[in-house]
Amino acid sequence: MADSTRRPSPETQADQRIREILRAADSWSREAPRALMPPIRAVCIRLAEMVADQRHYLAPLPEPQETERRTVLTLVADRLRSKPVIEGVEQHLKELEELELRSTGSWAVVASAQTEWITTAIRYLEGCAARLPAGDRPDPYWADDVVAGIIASVRALIGVDELHARTEARYSGPVKRASPEEE
């Protein structure tokens, strides 16, 4: 009989988180015009990548949980860049990158970097909506709501909530935590 208390492998956990992130993107785009689904998905993917990249700045957990968390978040960040995930939204991801919206270490520890990202994401989605015919555009504050919702969803799915992130940033400082391989 199989041991039902065994945890799923890091690969299985990462795959599950990717599916949940993509479901969250679909959920946040449900109330927007269909033409805005790809930009919303791109914003969700980029945010999830940034949140997963916070793994270098989190306070260590006791072993073996720390190794597992680091492995899962590395896999999530890598898979968020994979062809099956980005298929259909490549152009939007490129546009976001051109707006300097890409994963950086400052995202994890500098509040102003997070604020700039949020502002950039909102402006990007507003710009995408502005290209739609006037009758198809969502209400004026929809992009704010979508970005805030994506942030909350992705942090919860990846396991980094706002309080945890603020605490980490305050007490760990801007110094990257050394991984066992670097020590």
pLDDT at 179: 44
- Number of structural domains, the chain? 1
Residue 95 lies in a domain: yes
pLDDT at 105: 53
Average pLDDT per consecutive 10 residues, the chain (183 residues; last block may be shorter)? 73 92 89 92 88 71 85 90 94 87 56 79 93 90 90 78 50 47 47
Please report whether residue 135 resides in a domain: yes
Domain of 142?
10-172
Read off the tokens for 69.
Answer: 């968390």
Is 29 contained in some domain?
Answer: yes
Is 20 domain-assigned? yes
Domain assignment present for 2: no
Whole-number Cα distances in Å, 162 to 9, 16, 114, 180: 26, 22, 12, 26
Quick one: pLDDT at residue 101? 54
pLDDT at 178: 47
User: Sign of torsion, CA 116 108 43 103?
Assistant: positive
Question: Rg of the chain's alpha carbons, rounded to an integer?
Answer: 17
Q: Is residue 124 one of the residues assigned to a domain?
A: yes
Please give the model's pTM, rounded to 2 decimal places: 0.77
pLDDT at 110: 63
Q: Is residue 5 part of a domain?
A: no
Residue 50 CB contacts under 8 Å (≥ 6 apart), including other chains: 103, 104, 107, 108, 117
Here the tokens at position 34 are 């269909």
Q: Is residue 4 included in any domain, yes or no?
A: no
